[in-house]
Amino acid sequence: MAEIVIRNLRKTFGDFTAVQSSSFRIEDGEFFMLLGPSGCGKTTTLRMIAGLELPSAGEVYIDGEEVGQKPASQRDIAFVFQMFALYPHMNVRRNIAYPLVSQGMPRAQVRAKVAEVAGILGIEDILDRPVGGLSGGDRQRVALGRAIVRNPKCFLMDEPLGALDAEFREHMADELRALHDRMGATTVYVTHDQLEAMQMGDKIVVMNHGVVEQFGTPQDIYDKPATMFVADFIGSPPMNFLRFHGSVATGDAHVRLHHQVLAVPALREPFDGGMVYGVRPEHVRLSDAAGYRGEIIAAEYLGTTQIVTLKTHNGEVKARIPSDQRARMGETVGLDFNGATVTLFDSQSGRAIR
Ligand code: ATP
């Protein structure tokens, strides 16, 4: 097992900066997600951890040892790619055994290791089958088997489920997570899918344009986004942003939006200028008693809940409300926000004001 520490890690390709001074810590045994949109630098970060790409600056520590400039072969890790490169002319058993055989492990020991791994993955019955005719899921399990069999300190996975259809993907995500929980090896997993990251990860790093926007547990990231980018990227529909101008003092637990006093968590620092009142759709209620008003302009039925869109003085707001609550198009209603869950942002920098 391994603890991985990334310190001021940076990667440039010519004059393009793919990763800008990133720092975070991956605890021993954690299932850790690198999350962000396409091109944000997740794969480059993972490849630097693996040793497939050398950092332009900064350090990578695995169990306290600085390995940033060491080649992949000198790091005790297994890399699982999206495209599973199995050896097509070998059967399942030989595919899984390959890393051990090439290390020169004695045959009896190899047989025992392969049997153990097959047991963990539940593929004992296909060990003698050629890999050519296997289903996508079984191919995936064989590829994982080949990664597990070496007993590496940690697994690095780059969108391993990316090629699968939605239903099967969810099933494999559960299997991967369960496998991790059984084996306990540190796993670093790249994905652009926020739901996958939230469901599977112990911790998440959210990246954008090569910059670490936030690093924390799924709950931290959802409930206390550090930036508007994170608040917008995580959650579906994303957080509502109501733009306004004003000033707040240290300790204030309210702001003024269009002549209404709205609650916010008490602030540790004062602020004056353009702000954004960020509230998640499930924390908006329609209530006749509320003074802040909006006009219903759309409603989307989702089974037990519905997403109602309202036009307000500070922009559009989406509310997730029970589907049996009446929401009539064109009607103006009061909006009640759960102030304890609100995040205020500086509209210029996009950073949360706490
Ligand atoms: P995706 O999910 O699309 O792979 P990503 O977040 O993993 O995105 P990276 O693959 O890390 O992003 O790439 C980050 C940026 O660095 C991209 O703009 C990419 O074009 C660029 N890049 C990556 N590798 C190289 C390279 N070898 N030479 C030049 N530019 C590169």
Q: Residues 129-179: pLDDT tens digits? A: 999 888 888 888 888 888 888 888 888 999 888 777 777 788 888 888 988
Confidence (pLDDT) at 81 = 63
| pTM of this structure | 0.90
E-state strands within 136-270: 154-158, 186-191, 203-208, 211-216, 240-248, 254-257, 260-263
Per DSSP (E only), the strands in 54-202 are: 57-62, 65-66, 77-80, 154-158, 186-191
**CA-closest residue to ligand 1 atom 21:** 18
Looking at the structure, tell me whether residues 184 and 112 fall in a common domain.
Answer: yes
Summarize pLDDT for 185-221 with one digit per residue, the tens: 899 999 999 999 999 999 999 999 999 999 999 999 9
Q: Among the listed ranges 19-23, 73-77, 329-333, which one has the minimum average pLDDT value? A: 73-77
Using the atom order of ligand 1, give the atom closest to the CA of residue 46. 11
Give the mean pLDDT of 292-300: 97
Nearest Cα residue to atom 31 of ligand 1: 13
Q: Are residues 215 and 284 in the same domain?
A: no
Domain boundary among 229, 258, 281: 229
Domain boundary among 196, 229, 262: 229
Same-domain status, 224 and 242: no
ipTM of the complex: 0.96
Residue found under tokens 């991790």: 180
Q: What's CA 304's distance to the chain center, in Å? A: 26
Question: Ligand 1 centre from 36 Cα, in Å?
Answer: 12
Q: For residues 247 and 242, give the distance between their C-alpha atoms in angstroms, rounded to a whole number.
A: 15
What pLDDT score was predicted for residue 84?
A: 62
Q: At residue 82, does pLDDT exceed 70?
A: no
**Same-domain check for residues 225 and 290:** no
Rounded-to-integer distance, Cα 239 and Cα 341, Å = 11
Nearest CA among 66, 20, 61, 340 for reference residue 209:
20
Residue nearest to atom 7 of ligand 1 (CA): 43
Closest CA to 55 of 41, 37, 40: 41
Q: Compute the C-alpha angle 199/202/207, nearest 5°.
A: 85
Distance from the CA of 63 to the center of ligand 1, in angstroms? Answer: 27
The structural domain count of the chain equals 2
Structure confidence by residue, pLDDT tens digits, 261-278: 999 999 999 999 999 999
- Cα(258)–Cα(193) distance, rounded to whole angstroms? 36
Query: Do 242 and 210 belong to one domain?
Result: no
Around ligand 1, the residues with Cβ closer than 6 Å are 13, 16, 18, 36, 38-44, 192
Same domain, 124 and 75: yes
Ligand 1 atom with least separation from CA of 53: 27
Domain that holds residue 319: 238-353
Residues 212 and 299 in one domain: no
DSSP reduced 3-state for 349: coil
State how far the Cα of 284 lies from the Cα of 316, in Å rounded to an integer: 12
